Structure 1
Amino acid sequence: MKDVMEASHAVSEAVKAIEPDVIAAYPITPQTHIVERISEFVANGEIKSEYIRVESEFSAISACLGASAAGTRAYTSTSSQGLALMHEVLFIVSGMRLPVCMSVVNRALSAPINIWNDHQDSISERDTGWIQLYVETAQEAYDMTIMQHRISEDPRVLLPSMVCMDGFTLSHVYEAADIHDKKDVDSFLPKYKPVHAVLDPKEPLTQGPIGFPSHYMEFRSELCKAIDGSLDVIEEVMKDYSKKFPCTIENSRPKEYYHVEEHRMEDADVVLVAMGSVCGTIKVVIDELREKGVKAGLLKLITYRPFPAELLKEKLKGAGKVAVVEKALSPGLGGPLYHEISSALYECEERPELRNFIVGLGGKDVRLDHVEKIIDMTMKGEGKREEWMF
């Protein structure tokens, strides 16, 4: 069914089709529309999920941890300070290898208080052991919400995941989306069968016990192996989804999902790397500049954790000039994505000239002329290695 809806409501429709056993959430702008709509589905009897109305985001993620540890499919959603409040428990969920799924509606972190979009909230959680996938459109938000459950619950993975979508810029914007029948979603996403975590009085077990020095490091090693190995599972799930649900709305999503999406990359002299809804703006500028003979391209990163370093090396090794455009920063270091790409390219014999552009913090508009300036400065080698676009 094709319809025009908020990206937030597209996510709610995906959750409705998935019908998690337990949903626990606390409302926070700009995530609110997702959980409001889901709570309506539950109240109206449209889904049979257990909806837990908690008093904080810390309680929401804790409830999901308990539900998942009991052997059920658990889902939550949050933004900004809410995600920061979850920080302590995020490590526990991944460490216990629980496939909890979360929608993160990206919003700036205080102070000063700001309800608008950037990526500082989810980027700050990149080392918690959660898979992170970033989306550009309402269709991608819908699709990736379904895919993340199959990825997380795969016995080869068994890790929690976040699908990250830009607050307001995407969450509150109306776009066309193709919403699939529940029976079709069910055939793609089978009922969750817990492998290692289940509440069974006949076979009691202890979960999340103390890890002494003799064993703790081995646990962390196994977690790292699992998240590194999830790259192949993510690719497999993306291919299966693209085959089962072909793209029906032009420019609403990649024709075939992959860790990255390439736009006009075939002969590009300058390549922009970015994540999220800003990629739509970048595509418009690139198409306009191509008409003027400027050979620019975009590499949109969807899979951020696990970080696809080898793939990025392959895609960028032939590029002469690369601009990393990001809505996050690590104070005292610079752009996190820039430094991770720089590290990935370090061993390449022919490294491209790499530039970092910090944009859109706290919802600051990223205009067409900003993108044009980024491309022009990168091609001419003007400015500093790191530039802030106000």
Structure 2
Amino acid sequence: MSKPESLVRFIPFEPVKSAPSGGHWTKKDLVDHVKTAMAVELGTLPIYFCALYSIHRDNGGVGSRARAHILSIAEQEMLHLALAGNMLCSLDGKQALYDKSFMPTYPSEILFDQIPMRLQPANKENLECFLKIEAPYMPPPVPPPEPVMFMAMDMAIEPKQFIPEYRSIGQFYNNVEAGIQELSAKDPNLFSGSRANQLRGSEFFDSKMTVIYDKVTALEALTTIVDQGEGSIGVPESHYTIFVDLYQQHKQWRCVDYVDEPSTASYKGKNQVAYHTIDRCWEGSVADGAGRKQLLRNIHQLMVEVLSPTAHVLVQQRIGNKFAAPCFEFYPQENELPLPPKQLFQGLKNEIDAAQKAIDPKNQDLKDTADAIGRIAFCLSNFKEV
């Protein structure tokens, strides 16, 4: 008897840790690596957004320029997540983003590099972590072969098979490329999954978005991820290069002093908003037509008219002698399984309604916050069900 679809879809996610045993790839190996790539790209988004929102805006000054640079990097990380999702779709794989086992938690360490990831301001310590995350991958030198050991009767002992774990994101992506090359040589229909369900350049990111249907388009997408992200050697606009420039300027802007390890639980009863945004992507039920257009419109509104102003409201809320920060936690926290779409949306509206009621309209110090929450509430009232 087959399992219900909801249980199949939400099998706990486990990232890959090393290349396939024996060095020979299967389609499942590649699918698991692409899912892990999605987790890598998703994991950097909250830490970059938290750094962005911490920088005080200064009307076009160095702080505003730093915010713009970090925003451009975050947008490219969203592109990388979308490209990895397209590749998974082309392989007929499935991975829900709205899944407690898949969503990143903080503080934690980014996969493979053991670099700490924390929801912190754009300070010296955090920018150093960003540089480590985005540093170009340099393959280690190849050691000389070890001498063959012999036993009695001149019988050579086979060395024990050892699959080293990935030590960096760059090493991981190098292996993804090797898997694509090997499997596509054996199976020309490897990337024959749905094109209609994939995100297209007319919807997001123009020419940088790639619909994947063969080895060439798969490698094109992978090159975009690697060159923009950790950066191949000599790529001037890579994330690493941008963070080097920001690191050298970090004393020139002011940051909000966030609370340590922000969490929704620590904010309860403190008159502020916690918002968690989850995207629906790559689902065949909204692959084309008016439904897909409305879904994409909703996603854009969530990012521009809900997530961003909510974060700016949060960083103005005092918690003791510090300020709140976005938490990017699974919603609702007491649930292991995700809510149905209608219930999730209603939960969001309830949070915004509660925030509006908690603010004293006569308090002039909270006028900007009240206005922002009012705009968010108005935006949510105009959402259309897909």
Compute the TM-score of the two structures, normalised by the length of structure 1: 0.26
Higher-Rg member (1/2): 2
Instruction: Identify, as 1 or 2, the structure richer in helix.
Output: 2
Compute the TM-score of the two structures, normalised by the length of structure 2: 0.27
Instruction: Identify, as 1 or 2, the structure richer in strand.
Output: 1
